[in-house]
Amino acid sequence: MSTTQPGAGAAIRVALDAARDELRGDVARGAGGRAALQQHADRVDGLLRSLYAEAGGAERPVAVIALGGYGRRHLCLHSDIDLLLLFEGRIGPAEERFLRAFLHPLWDVGVVVGHQVRELDEFADLERDNPEFLLALLDARLVAGSRLLVDRLGAMFHTPATHAYILQSLLALIEERHARFNATLYQLEPDVKEAPGALRDLMATRTIAALTDTLLLQRGPADPGRFEEAEDFLLRVRSILHLEAERNQNVLSHELQERTADVLGYPGDEPRQRVERLMSDYFRHARTVSRTLEWMRRTAPTPVGPNLGLTRDGVRFLDPVQAARSPASWLAAFQAALDAGTGITDEALSCIQQHVSHYRAEDFTPEPRDRAAFLKLLKPRPGLYAALSQMHDCGLLGRLFPEFDAVSWRVVRDFYHKYTVDEHTLLTIRNLERLMSTQAQYRERFKMVAASLPSPELLVLALLLHDVGKWRDDEHALESVRMAAEALERLQVAADARDTVLFLIRNHLQMSLVAFRRDTEDPEIVKEFARLLGTEDRLKMLCLMTLADIEAVSPETLTPWKEELIWRLYVDTYNHLTQRYGDELIERNQAGLGELLSWRPHDIPEAEIMRFLEGLPRRYLQLFPREAIYRHVRLARDIGADEVHVSLEQNDTVWSLSVVTLDKPFLFSNICGVLSSFGMNILRGQALTNPNGLVLDVFQFTDDERFLALNVDAHVQVLQLLRDVVSGHADVTALLRGREQGVLHARGAPRVAPVVRADNEASERYTIVDIVAANALGLLYRISGVISRHGCSVELVLISTEGERAIDVFHITRAGIKLTEAEQRALTSDLQSTLEGKV
């Protein structure tokens, strides 16, 4: 039932009929083109405005917005009237009253209204499920109501991300639509709206230009005049189809072709001749549209970020004037180019070159997210060297790192180096980038090391700054460290990352020194080198740094012979770090201990720290930042039997769980089992035990099933189950059984053949069991379960994963001593069977 006066409906009908009659007249004269349709749209606008006025507006701001074809003012006789009714705030009873008063009269007179009723807030997030609606919004035009509201909608809607999404969707929609017509415009009965070369293609061409570069239409393959002419022709034909069919009919069928030819006044004695002339005109215009669209699809830059477009020549600034004013967007341009596997265009480079000297280093990365993005940019991958070289050429790298500018074109006079210091530096990065994607068999071993780095961008940062001290002629490593520290300070790199980068720069010559000049068969030399490095990650980075650095001196410098020496030192040091560290306990004079004590928070007395550290391996201090150690000390405080003290933290996508408790059989296995029972994927971890039976286990894992993200009380659940399982109040086996079976069945045969190796030589106190196997849910639980069932206690564990391989090193004892030969054999054979899925 209408809520408006009956009189209002009648008035609308009269006005609408008058408007339609006028359009009919134009169409019948063959003049139903753009001008007539615009005039019709204007008349409908007027009608809607009077309806809006009669509906009395709403209490709070509302806007009646024309969308799509109506928004463009191409309103055909039987086109739907697409409207967006936009409210500023929540739609309440008053707004609903307005809607009824506005829409019902339209419905009553039989107007087909395609309407969307929305609140402004709904546009805060991009709607990804309705690209047609987003496309229609591009033509939004205020008909009645609040201008301010439309402007606010525009500000929310017109963002680079939305534009990029719409463009991407539009290109997909075009493909789909063309496929329906077998991708040809030469249809005998063409649909003048949908067919290739018809009205939708014409609009798509304009939309692509509007979303990317509005000047493109002037440069297309067809004269812009011919494009307009095609539009007018297609609209005139469509108008006739609507008139003749008396509905929204867009197919130029054989019957309608005769009528259309007559209305448009094509000459010819026979209807056939007139139709042929009409259709030849149609195909000519459709071809113009089609060719322009094809050209546009090839040429238009794809939006790849704010003010950034991807073209065949690379990434460019869509608006160079704006780009010149926002230096923070320059690094984004390089990032986008790297992502797209291309460079940035010469124009963009000149734009940067022209303006780069106006800015300071900080201007390029003003916000934390810019600085994080810059670190991400440094991840080694194909194109990084090229990108950094471009950045160097246009002066951006030197501005970003004035330190690096000091060694631009710097010549080192020796018989060794072949390139200037800056180019040598960039070549080290190219070598690393190439290593990561090398196909060379002999490089495979180093490639795997590179692939296992958790933060390879830190290595690139270290390479970038390792030689900046070479502006001086003497000892350069320390000067490089001093200068790099300033650069890292400016970039506000996190403390542990900064320490790693400075460590690498300070020691960048150490590995070649030891590998080539020292007797690496001497275990003392390896032990000293391992002490210097402390952790496997640093060893890996220094190893790759050494390789990349030597190779960048000249093409001949890195011989297979040198590679072999580096590799052997790497393997020996790696084995030392992973297998012998249990023998090396924290000493009172160890580096880092003094700092740890002097920076300690007020609530932790020195004696408490010392008591906690007693009997832990020295690598513990190298592995964990100070804050983490203080946290562990607090967790260990006042711990009683059967008590479990736990902390759970999230860093990006990786969770970190620290567990402190007193040792007991199956402890490690149970903790792993709890994590696996929640579907957690354990990536890295350390299990440490001190002689007093205090156990500290630290796991890094990802929550692949988003259990922690999706469940409000997930933390509590995980921690409660841990407590219950460790104290013996719950059995993890039952929880895991279903899950494990599912996983085992799903995975099929493992792609990594499991290797189990026990060693009694490596460590003085422990039997070392090295395990390499396909990573799988519950793997650690199964391994450690077998170890515990053999009556062994797990003293130390190192867990790491590389892609689908899990690499675990267990330090175990049985009744406090190493295993006998027979015990080792029984254990390894059991482990092997378990990993092969035989039990």
Partner 1 sequence: MKLIKSIVRPNKVDEVKDALARLNISGMTVTEVRGHGKQKGHTAIYRGKEYNVSLLPKMEVEIVVNDSLADEAIKAIVEAARTGEIGDGRVFVFPVLESYRIRTGEKDA
Q: What is the binding site for partner 1 (CB under 8 A)?
A: 445, 516-521, 559, 561-562, 564-565, 567-568, 571-572, 574-575, 755-757, 770-772, 807
- Are 775 and 806 in contact, with CB atoms under 8 Å apart? yes
Decide: helix, strand or coil at residue 701: strand
Q: Which residues of 355-372 are buried (b: 16+ CB within 10 A; e: fewer)?
A: bbeebebebbbeeeebbe
CA distance 9 to 47: 11
10 Å Cβ neighbour count for 4?
18
Distance of CA 334 to the CA centre of its chain: 15
- Helix, strand, coil proportions of the chain in percent (round to 5)? 55, 15, 30
CA distance 772 to 752: 8
Tell me whether residue 440 or residue 716 sits nearer to partner 1 (CB atom): 440
Q: Which of 176, 166, 223, 237 is nearest to 201 (CA)?
A: 176
Write down the number of H helices and E strands in the chain: 38, 15
Q: Which of 598, 732, 715 is nearest to 672 (CA)?
A: 732
Tell me whether residue 462 or residue 762 sits nearer to partner 1 (CB atom): 762
Tell me whether residue 572 or residue 795 sits nearer to partner 1 (CB atom): 572
* Min dist. Cβ of residue 759 to partner 1 (A): 8
* Min dist. Cβ of residue 770 to partner 1 (A): 6
Tell me whether residue 522 or residue 731 sits nearer to partner 1 (CB atom): 522
CA distance 734 to 197: 65
* Min dist. Cβ of residue 767 to partner 1 (A): 15
* Min dist. Cβ of residue 519 to partner 1 (A): 5
* Min dist. Cβ of residue 755 to partner 1 (A): 3
- Are 785 and 676 in contact, with CB atoms under 8 Å apart? no
Determine the residue type at 143: V
* Min dist. Cβ of residue 805 to partner 1 (A): 8
Tell me whether residue 99 or residue 769 sits nearer to partner 1 (CB atom): 769
**C-alpha distance from residue 71 to each of 45, 65, 135 (Å):** 10, 8, 11
- Are 586 and 593 in contact, with CB atoms under 8 Å apart? yes
CA distance 576 to 585: 14
Q: Terminus-to-terminus CA distance in the chain, angstroms?
A: 74
Which 8-state DSSP code applies to residue 484?
A: H
Tell me whether residue 15 or residue 772 sits nearer to partner 1 (CB atom): 772
Tell me whether residue 487 or residue 569 sits nearer to partner 1 (CB atom): 569
* Min dist. Cβ of residue 580 to partner 1 (A): 14
Determine the residue type at 323: A
Tell me whether residue 570 or residue 624 sits nearer to partner 1 (CB atom): 570
* Min dist. Cβ of residue 769 to partner 1 (A): 11
Tell me whether residue 483 or residue 771 sits nearer to partner 1 (CB atom): 771
What is the residue whose two structure tokens read 């080539």? 516
Provide long-range contacts, Cβ within 8 A and 24+ apart, for 649-652: 650/708
Q: What is the C-alpha R_g of the chain?
A: 36
* Min dist. Cβ of residue 572 to partner 1 (A): 7
Q: What angle do CA 609, 613, 614 make, to 5 degrees?
A: 120
Decide: helix, strand or coil at residue 369: helix
* Min dist. Cβ of residue 561 to partner 1 (A): 4
* Min dist. Cβ of residue 559 to partner 1 (A): 6
Tell me whether residue 277 or residue 518 sits nearer to partner 1 (CB atom): 518
Tell me whether residue 569 or residue 726 sits nearer to partner 1 (CB atom): 569
CA distance 168 to 174: 10
* Min dist. Cβ of residue 812 to partner 1 (A): 17
Tell me whether residue 44 or residue 776 sits nearer to partner 1 (CB atom): 776
* Min dist. Cβ of residue 515 to partner 1 (A): 8
Tell me whether residue 320 or residue 837 sits nearer to partner 1 (CB atom): 837
Please name every residue paired with 303 in a beta bridge, in sequence order, or none if there are none: 309
